Amino acid sequence: MHKPKTFEAALGKFRHCYGRDPALVAYAPGRVEVLGNHTDYNEGLVLSAAIDYGTCFAVAPSTGSACRLTAGDLMREVRFEVRHPGPSRTDSWANYCTGVLAGLLPRGAFPHGFDALFFGNIPLGSGLSSSAALEIATALALARLYGIAADPVSLARIAQQAEHTFAGVKCGLLDQISSLFGRDGMLVQTDFRSLEIRHAPLGAGAVLLICNTHAKHALVDGEYNQRRADCEAAAAFFRTRLPHPVAALRDVSWTEWEAHRGGLDERIARRAAHPIGENERVVQGAERLAQGDLEGFGRLMFASHESSRRYFENSCGELDHLVDTARGVPGVLGARLSGGGFGGSVAVLVRTPDAAAASSALAAAYAARYGKPCDIRVIHPSAGARLVETR
């Protein structure tokens, strides 16, 4: 398998910092959520993809128990003891790595520290989950360095826990699963109750455009956690009203939501509507892909964004403007916000021959409205996280 785009740069930076080669390098891609927004922690369904942008984590053992960790973009180093990693208040980027180390500690022996450096090309705050890519690359590298046997789902859970306890975001498993289980040309279809993972071909006739608005992506400010709490409150309500078991909003149908929404606080009813509707859209979306119906799949993407805007209120003006513009651009099949929301990126499904013209049209419309550029990248569903041969 070919080496990631960031591999040589990460290798050079590691040599510059530590005066030697790393013992091993792990790579993990970012992800784009294509359909199924905020459904993962509601035990629901998601269609996502690993993308062809990611993060390399290079590491070598040290002689003592001290660890040195360098952010390759900042060329800034933090130090800690291998058996006592803790959250940092001043260098919050390190928490994604130290949190993973803390999760691995109960699984093995750590007789020495390490020197490590990470470097990636996922735009920060773009909604493409640079944080999960860093967590998964760290987990793969440290598990191999210390001889820890852990299956991919266990590594995903360790990475998720790092985000909960060290970074302060109560994320689901979507980002980590997508990064681990990506395949070239395929969407990752995940059931977050059973953790059954399938793959669905996107098809050669279309690609994804990722339009980064540079709008604030403020999950740690509490909006994400509040949405999750509202979903849990809604599930608790439906548990008392429906004649069948309700473990999570996955168990509530749209028809049931319509019948009982009047008993809920109005805000919580709106919040619940979004993941309930999203689960049904993912089921329909998988059927459309199996039939090669990209137009039908695209319509579901537009419907998903409208649900985000109307019910979950995790969109913003910049995202809405791009999606509204996309509806009138030739070759565009669908568009929606991707990821947690509150800023970040829009994913646009476009016919492959129309990708360049659609990118220009969307960029021009965004600049005309906001007076600043919107970064647009063509994204190909790509292979998942892996160790990289260093020779």
Residues assigned a catalytic role:
175
Q: What residues are paired with 61 via a beta bridge?
A: 114
Is 305 in contact with 324 (CB distance < 8 Å)?
Answer: no
Eight-state DSSP code of residue 74: T
Is 110 in contact with 95 (CB distance < 8 Å)?
Answer: no
Eight-state DSSP code of residue 372: S
Q: Is the dihedral of CA 303, 192, 138, 181 positive or negative?
A: negative
For residue 77, give every residue at least 6 positions away whose Cβ sits within 8 Å of its Cβ, in sequence order, or none: 17, 68, 69, 70, 71
Is 141 in contact with 116 (CB distance < 8 Å)?
Answer: yes
For residue 366, give every residue at least 6 positions away whose Cβ sits within 8 Å of its Cβ, in sequence order, or none: 211, 213, 318, 321, 322, 325, 373, 374
